[in-house]
Amino acid sequence: MLIEYLPIAILLVISTGLAALIVWIGNTFGPRRPTLRKSLPYESGMNPIGPGTRRMPVRFYLVAVLFILFDIEVVFFLPWAIVFRQLGLFGLIEMFVFIFILLVGYVYAWKKGALEWE
Amino acid sequence: MTSELILFFILAIVAVASAVGMLLSRNAVYAALYLILNFATVAVFYLMLSAAFISLVQVTVYAGAIMVLFLFVIMLLGAEHTGRLSESGWMFWTPIVLGAVLAVEALYIILRQWKAIPATQAAGSDFGAPAAVGLELFQNYLLPFEVTSVLLLVAMIGAILLARSKKA
């Protein structure tokens, strides 16, 4: 039962291992001569202004909430896509209704300028 | 012990350790990373319970979207370093008392009904599969599915209204 997911487990192990290996090789064989200028946070070549962890504007919150909502919409697509052929035309229509209602929200977000960054 | 039981115990240790790490870390961003690890472990638990769809939702929505929201909130509050909260008073003792009550209850039930709990209560292994969920959702539970879209719409409009009240 769980053995079906073995490929995903192998993928995770190999990708994690490869990432760790690359970091390890870089740390072990790379030369390391830190100067003050090199260890400063990189800010497009300028001298850094203020701390690296400053407060973010509230706009990001709106982006995150909209992302969650559309993410939940995507979650519904997955079981639908699997049984799409079994459901036939009826399934297509009900998904169109679902998408249409959410499209209203999308148009609202667009018109209100929630997708714009001033 | 079967290999699945061994896997369960390893994951259980990871889940509990990441939850404790989340509670104890001083930096809120590290706490969020521990929480992602915890969510991922719970997703594997769902897979072991043959609830593949829930497992996928756990990764997509919780470990993905909810954590993005958490991190944005942490960063927009500038609350990376919470420091030590007040360790006396009800904020400290209430969770401990409630947790102890829960632990005692669980222990009581386990000790009392140890024999009564059947070894396996699993439904068919395809019960929680995405295909089975899809068929149920789009045939028997059509109305709740469509109402969900209205719910999402309401949440979307509410979020936009709250975050952009000045311009509207």
Q: Got the DSSP string for B33-74?
A: HHHHHHHHHHHHHHHHTT-HHHHHHIIIIIIIIIHHHHHHHH
Does residue B60 sit in the same domain as residue B73? yes
> A116 near B163, Cβ under 8 Å?
no
Does residue B87 sit in the same domain as residue B167? no
> Residue B57: its chain A contacts at CB < 8 A?
75
Q: Specify which of A21-30, B106-115, B151-160 reaches the highest per-range mean pLDDT.
A: A21-30
Average pLDDT over residues B110-136: 72
> B127 near B53, Cβ under 8 Å?
no
Q: Tell me which residue in A63, A91, A105 faces B153 most closely, judged by beta carbons.
A: A105
Say if the Cβ atoms of B56 and A78 lie within 8 Å.
Answer: yes
Looking at residue B81, its pLDDT comes to: 63
Q: In this prediction, what percent of chain B has a pLDDT beyond 90? A: 25
Task: Determine which of A60, A73, A87 to mutate to test the interface with B (most B C-beta atoms within 10 Å).
Answer: A60
Say if the Cβ atoms of B167 and A112 lie within 8 Å.
Answer: yes
Say if the Cβ atoms of B138 and A71 lie within 8 Å.
Answer: no
Does residue B119 sit in the same domain as residue B154? no
What architecture (CATH level 2) is domain A58-118?
Up-down Bundle (1.20)
Higher model confidence: residue B135 or residue B42?
B42
Looking at residue B121, its pLDDT comes to: 57
Does residue B38 sit in the same domain as residue B110? yes
- Whether B125 has a pLDDT exceeding 90, the answer reads no
Alpha-carbon dihedral angle through residues A111, A72, B136, B143, given to the nearest 10 degrees: -30
- Whether B154 has a pLDDT exceeding 80, the answer reads yes
Higher model confidence: residue B19 or residue A4?
B19
> B139 near A88, Cβ under 8 Å?
no
Residue spans of the domains in chain A: they are 58-118
pLDDT of A6-62, one tens digit each? Answer: 898 899 999 999 999 999 999 999 888 888 877 777 777 777 777 666 677 777 788
CATH number for the domain spanning B97: value is 1.20.120.1200
Q: Tell me which residue in B134, B139, B163 faces A82 most closely, judged by beta carbons.
A: B134
Domain count, chain B: 2
Looking at residue B2, its pLDDT comes to: 81
Does residue B140 sit in the same domain as residue B75? no
Higher model confidence: residue A22 or residue A66?
A22
The model's pTM is 0.76
Does residue B116 sit in the same domain as residue B159? no
Q: In this prediction, what percent of chain B has a pLDDT beyond 70? A: 83
Looking at residue A13, its pLDDT comes to: 94
- Whether A80 has a pLDDT exceeding 60, the answer reads yes
Give dist(CA A66, CA A114) in Å, integer: 9
Which helix H or strand E contains B31, and what residues bound it? helix B28-48
Give dist(CA B152, CA B149) in Å, integer: 5
ipTM reported for the complex, 2 dp: 0.72
Structural domain containing residue B103: 3-125
Does residue B98 sit in the same domain as residue B135? no
Give the residues across from B27 on adjacent strands: B81
Lowest mean pLDDT among A65-79, B19-33, B80-94, B153-167: B80-94
Give the residues across from B81 on adjacent strands: B27
Does residue B160 sit in the same domain as residue B82? no
> Residue A68: its chain B contacts at CB < 8 A?
61, 65-66, 68-69
> Residue B61: its chain A contacts at CB < 8 A?
68, 71-72, 75
> A74 near B60, Cβ under 8 Å?
yes
Give dist(CA B132, CA A95) in Å, integer: 17
- Whether B168 has a pLDDT exceeding 50, the answer reads no
Looking at residue A24, its pLDDT comes to: 95
- Whether B129 has a pLDDT exceeding 90, the answer reads no
Instruction: Give the minimum alpha-carbon distance from A78 to chain B in angstroms, rounded to a whole number.
Output: 7
